Chain A
Amino acid sequence: MSTMSLGRLTLLHTRYQLLETMRVPIAVIGNLVFPSLALAFFVLPQRAVAGDPELATQAVGQLALFAVISTCIFTYGVGVAEDRALPFDAYLRTLPAGPLPRMGGRLLVGGIFSLVSLVPLILIGALFTAAAPTPAQLVGGVAAVLVGALPFLFAGLAIGYALTFKAALPIAQVVLFPMAFLGGLFLPPQLFPRWLDTASGFVPTRAARDIVVQVTTGTGATLFDFVMLVAWTVALAALAVWAYRRDQGRRFR
């Protein structure tokens, strides 16, 4: 007898993981609200930024990237570490499904929450700032944010599979905030001193930020940004695969 189809099982896992996450709304709300609050309190009062189409678009793009990166680090990093600690995770491995539907569900749930976290930011940006990207720039920007967050999807998985829940939570925070600051997601890099701007060039958040700004405003990225983004994505994906295999080997060998 064959198993249920991979597609149906993946949707099933997605549905129940969404349900489980929504039942603890504080986790979801935290991710949704923080970037919007930052936009409202730090960007809107500065009319020089909020009133300038290019600077406002740039600010919304930076915080959008922060929202998605934070979702990735937390749903994959902390969420996976938490799941691994539950005996239910091992039980699910005895069902006629294998590990793929669960992994697929995880990726889809992270993607859904990432998109949802962009909604309030885009609304605030559209209603209260001078940001006015063309529809193509808006769609391109959302795509660039998702692609730019890929290194952090893998970083999250690496943290989740390599560390225990207790270790994953602080590590996720330690990775997220300095990376976001250094990458210019809170303050635009134009305000950085020279040395910080140079250092910033080597982190994945900066590469992703420059690409998002490039797509939404037409300037900002260099070839080096693309090289850095690809290099970080490949390196962190390799780390995630290593952590996943090590974990599976320890628990299910």
Chain B
Amino acid sequence: MSTPVIEVDHVTRRFGPVVALDDVSLTVRPGELVGLLGPNGAGKTTLLSLVDGLRRPDAGVVRLFGADPRNPASRTRLGSTPQETGLPPTLRVAEVVDFVSRHYPSAQPAAALLEQFGLSGLARRQCGGLSGGEKRRLAVALALAGNPALVLLDEPTTGLDVDARLTLWEALRAYHAAGGTIVLTSHYLDEVQALAERVVVIDRGRVLADDALATVIGRVAVRRVGLTLPDGADLAPLWNLPGVVGVTADGSRVELLAGDADAVVRALVHSDVQFSGIEVRSASLEEAFLTMTAAAETATAAETAAATKTTDEGAREPA
């Protein structure tokens, strides 16, 4: 089997008291197109900064093409994007492309690259004079300048209009079709849905889901079952219902997320749960994603609560 493009092995990274990545493991193989999905502050950008060698993990190992990404030689087949706000304002578009390309042993011809990203007419323009969309296209073009085997794209189309977005997607699909590996982060579900073949959901520094796009969509093709429980009812039995992947409560109103709503309703009827006002509707990808992150939160909260309870009981016991 070929060497993985990226290996992240039990990696933890803290910034002061904040745990940005908590024991994350992830392997990306050649030719994959992986979408990293998660809210702002989830740890996506931190993960990319470990892979591109900007930072090192506190614990665990990161390998890029089987080697340490902090060694410049490991990065000869890596392309990444600058933030569009960071392009040197006085340099011209063609100059920035030339400057970046010359770092790579087998760079793309600049003319073809500019053509592909619709930047040919702007080659002599200074970066400071580009529009936001043009800067974004240039930033992504720079990631591909060195003919890399892997590109890391952090929010590649944030703030772009629909046309510019489609142009970029087209370029990324072409790169992937030619055998390139892509890891992109986004907090837009439709972007991940349009491009990715594999989806990794991250929140609070943990991997919540890592699966084929179709499977994640399948998980998303879940339905919401809403019901009202008597005050003070225990939510725990609801987790035992067939196929329930999420339970959220707002006062006495409870929402269940489940793959098969019919099975849940059938099981509910046969259980001794005292429910009323049942309602079934489909969940959007956004909702599924929110539920996924919320479920992780609830699980953590439950763990904490359980731990506290045990301590309390332990303290009372001697009396």
Interface residues of A, Cβ cutoff 8 Å to B? 1-4, 8-9, 12, 16, 19-20, 23-24, 86-91, 93-98, 252-253
Contact = CB atoms under 8 A, between A and B. Distances in A.
Interface of B: 52-56, 72-78, 80-83, 85-88, 90-91, 95, 99-100, 102-105, 126, 146
Given A3-B72, A96-B72, A98-B72, A88 B87 contact: yes
A90 B80 CA distance: 11
A1 B72 CA distance: 10
Contacts of A97: 72, 103
Contact of A4 (B80, B83, B91, B102): B102
11 contacts: A3-B75, A4-B103, A12-B102, A16-B99, A87-B82, A87-B86, A90-B54, A91-B83, A96-B104, A97-B72, A253-B56
A2 B146 CA distance: 13
Given A4-B102, A95-B100, A96-B73, A20 B91 contact: yes
A253 B57 CA distance: 9
A2 B72 CA distance: 8
A20 B90 contact: yes
Given A19-B91, A20-B91, A253-B55, A94 B75 contact: yes
A91 B49 CA distance: 10
Contacts of B83: 87, 91
B90 A95 contact: no
Contact of A3 (B55, B76, B80, B95): B76
A94 B71 CA distance: 10
Contacts, number: 83
A3 B73 contact: yes
Contact of A2 (B73, B78, B126): B73
Contacts of B75: 3, 94-96
A5 to B, nearest CB: 11
Contact of A88 (B74, B77, B88, B146): B88
A88 B52 CA distance: 14
Contact of A12 (B54, B77, B99, B105): B99
A16 B86 CA distance: 15
B250 to A, nearest CB: 40
A246 B72 CA distance: 21
A94 B80 contact: yes
Contacts of B52: 94
B203 to A, nearest CB: 24
A1 B91 contact: no
A101 to B, nearest CB: 9
Contacts of B76: 1-3, 96
A106 to B, nearest CB: 14
Q: Quick one: which of B53, B56, B126 has the most chain A CB within 10 A? A: B53
A1 B100 contact: no
B103 A9 contact: yes
B91 A93 contact: no
Contacts of A93: 53-54
A230 B103 CA distance: 37
Contacts of B53: 93-94
Nearest to B142: A91
Q: Quick one: which of A3, A16, A96 has the most chain B CB within 10 A? A: A96
Nearest to A24: B90
A4 B78 contact: no
B86 A88 contact: yes
B97 to A, nearest CB: 12
A253 B49 CA distance: 11
A16 B75 CA distance: 21
Q: Quick one: which of A4, A12, A88 has the most chain B CB within 10 A? A: A88
Given A16-B99, A95-B100, A4 B54 contact: no
B74 to A, nearest CB: 8
A2 B77 CA distance: 10
Nearest to A90: B54
B67 to A, nearest CB: 10
Given A90-B54, A93-B54, A94-B52, 4 more contacts: A3-B105, A20-B88, A95-B146, A97-B103
A16 B91 contact: yes
A95 B90 CA distance: 20
Contacts of A91: 80-83, 86
A35 B99 CA distance: 34
A9 B146 CA distance: 14
Q: Quick one: which of A16, A23, A91, A93 has the most chain B CB within 10 A? A: A91
B73 A1 contact: yes
